[in-house]
Structure 1
Amino acid sequence: MAHVTHEVLNQVPPLTGHDVADDPALLTALRLGGAGWAEAELRELGVLAGSARVQELGRLANEHPPVLRTHDRWGHRVDEVEFHPAWHELMTTAIGRGLHAAPWRDERPGAHVARAAKFLVWSQVEAGHGCPVSMTYAAVPALRRSPWLAARFEPLLASPEYDFGLRPPESKRGLVAGMSMTEKQGGSDVRANTTRAVRSGDHHVLTGHKWFTSAPMSDLFLTLAQADEGLSCFLVPRVLPDGTRNAISLQRLKDKLGNRSNASAELEYDGAVGWLVGEPGRGVRTIIEMVNATRLDCVLGSAAGMRAGLVQAAHHAAHRRAFGAALVDQPVMRAVLADLAVESEAATTVGLWLAGSRGRLGLAVAKYWVCKRGPAHAAEALECLGGNGYVEESGMPRLFRESPLMSVWEGSGNVAALDVLRVLAREPDAVVEFTAELDAAAGADRRLDAAVRELKAMLVEPDPESRARRLVERMALVLQGSLLVRHGHPAVADAFCASRLAGDWGVAFGTLPAGVDAKAIVERAVPGR
């Protein structure tokens, strides 16, 4: 009798050939945001994102991270960053589909919501290249503080052409922007920056060292430096209009936990040319326009990671059998998946709402909370696959390594929480706008009504800084609850209010209260349901 030693049974088929945009919460939010006209485009991008070939591009871009080439073979300084072709193909699609600055030139209602939905879908393929795409999107509102610079560069930033390479900006078919703010001694405390900017005719000359520069291969950087008038914002090109390299040296690339496909660098300005953006001495106020837009993409990026992890877990559970039944039909697994789905749908819903509303208070609140939820969500989704989820081939370790980034980027948790307190203290109109959004759901759910009353009491209590995180967390949960009660699936809204607002919830995922419709919630997450 022949011995069979390697018969493959009960293994889950690859999750390819599906529409990544087939996400009920995403499609609902798209339509509510006035961007229903973009659904066909979104679906087309979703099919592309779910294809085996594009999934492979995401893997290759991370298996072959960027390499810094400081000098050429003859010893000339070149400061080039070399990328795998997979990176360039992902960037070509992202920019060609308008995920970058294109919405700023699109006057259709819901253009920014449509862009946010596309960003959320395409980021599920590969998160790293979303960084330069996001910063290009975010550069435009800051650049508009200096109309002559916006007129010069905005059309190229909004161009659907990805044109990689170091050449004079205005000789290229399209541009990518980066941001260079933090320094060794300050980090988030950018007012401690020591980079100097000295006026020289129609420009400034910058000298200093930046500790963390996102997307150093970009054509243009928005950067902060100390001018005579105080901390100011400047636009610094990699290549000057006459074709010579600007005096920018890349010192090294950061060896990061995740986001491996994307380059992040320390760089040095040694007499680099920069053009003033906005008012001198008002650099933080100018660049906050860019920070707010990139914070939106931090929320969207976290929502994308949650959706990707949820779909992988639900797909695995639908095809894997244990103890005589499919995992998805076993109550304990279904409870976990339902909890993950509730978290994912809440993140997606608030992310697309922010893309349409763009309120600074809502952005800071959601940036704090949604990005904080990412790592716990990724860990639980990975665990749904068991040991299969712990190996690199599953893609789940890459998702897990990426998950803490969004909470760190553009202000870590404490920075975001303190920003909320500043808005609460200085911008009463923003508070009125925020609470009006909560009141729009009044009477729809008694648990939400009680949570809104509790939150309003917290907002008027003195000395909230010592418990800023608690306050901001509650603000985020009540905002998500209001949106879900009005616009979400009834089963999802019920589970959210019972667990996140009424407190009938454990500490780990999978601890939703009895009575929630877990089956209906999970079915929304299974690809090709």
Structure 2
Amino acid sequence: MTPSTHTVTNQVPPLIDYDVFGQDAVLSEGFARLVTPEAAAEAGAELTELGRAAGSAEAAEWGRLANENPPVLRVFDPRGHRIDEVEFHPAWHQLLDRAVSSGLTDAWTWPSGQLRRTAGFLVWSQVEAGHGCPVSMTHAAVPALRATPELAAVWEPLLTSHRYQPGLDVPATAKAGAVAGMGMTEKQGGSDVRANTTRAEPAGDPGLYRLTGHKWFCSAPMSDVFLVLAQAPGGLSCFLLPRVLPDGTRNSFRLQRLKDKLGNRSNASSEVEFDGETLAWLVGEEGRGVRTIIEMVAATRLDCVTGSAAIMRQAVARATHHAAHRSAFGGPLIDKPLMTNVLADLALESEAATALALRLAAAVDAAADGSAHDRHLLRLALPAAKYWVTKRCTPVAAEALECLGGNGYVEESGLPRLLRESPLNSLWEGSGNVQALDALRALQREPGALNAYLVEVGQAAGADHRLDAALKDLLTELSDLEGVEARARRVVERLALVLQGSLLVRHAPPEVADAFCASRLGRNWGDSFGTLPGGSLTAVVERARPLPE
């Protein structure tokens, strides 16, 4: 008999049918540590349910289909009427429906709501990252709208609803729930939004304006409502722009094209034109648009940190799962000392990112409850975290892909999608230089921010000599802020690493904290992953595995 040439051996089973929340020790333990026992029990059950859904074969298929069938722009209907709609695969709507129904657009009505929502966002984003864009903006629009209580009274219940109702057939106020987008940047300005040229002219009714201009990036154009910036008579201002007007007619919202992006393919990013007939309502005061929308930006920046932590976590989960089930050179890959070193190094980066995202989310909750320490801490720690965590995402995804060898370079492994997605959060809501300069402004103008940071990291003082030395070096760096702009990235990187080190020393297992401080703070580390100095690396890897045997 001729032997079969298609017998399958030594191939790794798919990473499905697991609890993305409960089998992530860093996330589940960190969440439980930061909330009351009552909240941990109630929210933990909901997060476990979401985690099992995120680890299901059904959710994995939704993510695949949404990315293999990207959105399509439909400018006209078959009879030539202008409709300016974006058509999505049903899988996109299924992903978004589960996100909304799980409360990921609502952090405002629960105890520890920001932390609870951040944990859920980290879980569900691992399924598919693109649909997280409208989820994030819908969540983040709420604090900005509160600058005008009359608008917030109408829109906040819709944006925080746990019901997803797509379509532009009726006004959002007639729907069970609404999603939001944002249009800030223009082709001549980018991050320099004060260079915007979109004009807003009063339209007669109080607070109503007509907009004329062009937005270079308008995210999630299928949304019900947008926050946009435009130049009003009193200066740069923030406006609420609905797609369907209260009388049921379509607002003038001319979609010019969808961007052809590196990744984030399931999500539509567009250019949009406002033609002078586009109606929008003023949010906050004229001339204070940046101050108004900055509340939205702060919330979405935290989601950039969380989204990057989610990509890292999923990359590490796939790499450790592969290594545990793949044999080479006489035994499982995960038992090979050099592979153990690589996986442990990746796991450290993932754990540090998750711990920092959770701490920032808890700080948002505490600041809302009146904590001056947490409010000041966020002012410095949030841009530093946004800078560093999003920067680390791409090398983690690339190294995790390499752990799978040639299989990792194939789309079916899921790693190419993670790699394409990984740079996005470093760009969205301000690239690295913007974050570094923002952190410098906090250092130079708001002494309370640095004081809060030092109090925070000081909680680990004396626990690890490398952490103590790194903090001392950082203080030396900060003692001379003359000409600091050229050194801004170095300063902000150190701010983030010292804060991560402090969190791990206080809360992570000793083997994790030791390896992190030895490598990231002690500089006993090479230029690539897999160059850790030694220690209990097997324990670090086992902590990171999603399906331990």
| TM-score after normalising by structure 2 | 0.95
1:136 equivalent in structure 2: 138
Whole-Å Cα distance in 1 between the matches of residues 451 and 328 of structure 2? 52
* Secondary structure at 2:181 match in 1: strand
1:446 equivalent in structure 2: 465
- Residue 73 of structure 2 contacts residue 84 of structure 2 at CA under 8 Å; is this kept in 1? yes
Out of 499, 508, 514, the residue aligned to residue 488 of structure 1 is 508
Whole-Å Cα distance in 2 between the matches of residues 4 and 160 of structure 1? 53
Q: Displacement of 1:39 after TM fit?
A: 1.1
Q: Displacement of 1:450 after TM fit?
A: 1.1
Whole-Å Cα distance in 1 between the matches of residues 420 and 398 of structure 2? 10
1:292 aligns with 2:293: no
Whole-Å Cα distance in 1 between the matches of residues 460 and 545 of structure 2? 29
Out of 238, 242, 257, the residue aligned to residue 237 of structure 1 is 242
Out of 335, 341, 344, the residue aligned to residue 347 of structure 2 is 341
Q: Displacement of 1:446 after TM fit?
A: 1.1
Q: Displacement of 1:278 after TM fit?
A: 1.1
1:328 equivalent in structure 2: 334
- Residue 159 of structure 2 contacts residue 177 of structure 2 at CA under 8 Å; is this kept in 1? yes
- Residue 251 of structure 1 contacts residue 265 of structure 1 at CA under 8 Å; is this kept in 2? yes
- Within-5 A mapping of 1:85-484: 85-100=90-105, 102-106=106-110, 108=111, 110-166=112-168, 167-201=170-204, 202=206, 203-271=208-276, 272-358=278-364, 359-461=378-480, 462-484=482-504
Q: Deviations over 1:294-339 (max 9, x none)?
A: 0000000000000000000000000000000100000010000000
Q: Which amino acid aligns with 1:226?
A: Q
Q: Deviations over 1:103-131 (max 9, x none)?
A: 1122x1x2210110010000000000000
Q: Displacement of 1:4 after TM fit?
A: 2.3
- Residue 321 of structure 2 contacts residue 547 of structure 2 at CA under 8 Å; is this kept in 1? no
Whole-Å Cα distance in 1 between the matches of residues 273 and 317 of structure 2? 42
- Residue 184 of structure 2 contacts residue 229 of structure 2 at CA under 8 Å; is this kept in 1? yes
- Residue 164 of structure 2 contacts residue 178 of structure 2 at CA under 8 Å; is this kept in 1? yes
2:370 equivalent in structure 1: none
Q: Deviations over 1:175-225 (max 9, x none)?
A: 101110000000111111000001122201110000001111111100000
2:531 equivalent in structure 1: 511
1:23 equivalent in structure 2: 24
* Secondary structure at 1:508 match in 2: coil
Whole-Å Cα distance in 2 between the matches of residues 137 and 3 of structure 1? 58
Q: Deviations over 1:212-270 (max 9, x none)?
A: 01111111100000011111111111111001111111111001000000010000011
Whole-Å Cα distance in 2 between the matches of residues 67 and 238 of structure 1? 18
Q: Which amino acid aligns with 1:213?
A: C
Q: Displacement of 1:443 after TM fit?
A: 1.2
1:8 equivalent in structure 2: 8
Whole-Å Cα distance in 1 between the matches of residues 254 and 445 of structure 2? 40
- Residue 85 of structure 2 contacts residue 222 of structure 2 at CA under 8 Å; is this kept in 1? yes
Q: Displacement of 1:3 after TM fit?
A: 2.9
* Secondary structure at 2:228 match in 1: strand
Whole-Å Cα distance in 1 between the matches of residues 511 and 245 of structure 2? 57
Name segments (4+ residues, structure 1) moved above 3 Å: none
Q: Which amino acid aligns with 2:243?
A: R
Q: Displacement of 1:527 after TM fit?
A: 2.1
1:68 equivalent in structure 2: 73
Q: Deviations over 1:390-446 (max 9, x none)?
A: 011111100000000010110000011011011111111112111111111111111
Whole-Å Cα distance in 2 between the matches of residues 4 and 136 of structure 1? 54
- Residue 292 of structure 1 contacts residue 360 of structure 1 at CA under 8 Å; is this kept in 2? no
Whole-Å Cα distance in 1 between the matches of residues 133 and 200 of structure 2? 27
Select between 420-429 and 376-385 the one with higher mean Cα deviation.
420-429
Select between 4-13 and 342-351 the one with higher mean Cα deviation.
4-13
Whole-Å Cα distance in 1 between the matches of residues 274 and 446 of structure 2? 36
Q: Which amino acid aligns with 2:149?
A: P
Q: How many residues are aligned here?
A: 525
Whole-Å Cα distance in 1 between the matches of residues 435 and 462 of structure 2? 31
Q: Deviations over 1:270-305 (max 9, x none)?
A: 121111111210111111111110000000000000
Whole-Å Cα distance in 2 between the matches of residues 510 and 440 of structure 1? 30
CA RMSD of aligned residues (A): 0.9
Q: Displacement of 1:40 after TM fit?
A: 1.2
Q: Deviations over 1:338-369 (max 9, x none)?
A: 00000000000000111111312111000000
2:375 equivalent in structure 1: none
* Secondary structure at 1:182 match in 2: coil
* Secondary structure at 1:178 match in 2: strand
Q: Displacement of 1:453 after TM fit?
A: 1.4
Q: Deviations over 1:27-60 (max 9, x none)?
A: 1221122152311111111111111111111100
* Secondary structure at 2:183 match in 1: strand
1:77 aligns with 2:78: no
Whole-Å Cα distance in 2 between the matches of residues 171 and 217 of structure 1? 17
Q: Which runs of 5+ in 2 are unaligned?
A: 365-377
Whole-Å Cα distance in 2 between the matches of residues 137 and 492 of structure 1? 33
Whole-Å Cα distance in 2 between the matches of residues 33 and 416 of structure 1? 26
Q: Displacement of 1:463 after TM fit?
A: 2.1
- Residue 365 of structure 1 contacts residue 472 of structure 1 at CA under 8 Å; is this kept in 2? yes
Q: Which amino acid aligns with 2:230?
A: A
Q: Which runs of 5+ in 1 are unaligned?
A: none
Q: Displacement of 1:7 after TM fit?
A: 1.4
Whole-Å Cα distance in 2 between the matches of residues 517 and 269 of structure 1? 59
Q: Displacement of 1:460 after TM fit?
A: 2.3
* Secondary structure at 1:104 match in 2: coil
Whole-Å Cα distance in 1 between the matches of residues 453 and 150 of structure 2? 35
Whole-Å Cα distance in 2 between the matches of residues 229 and 434 of structure 1? 37
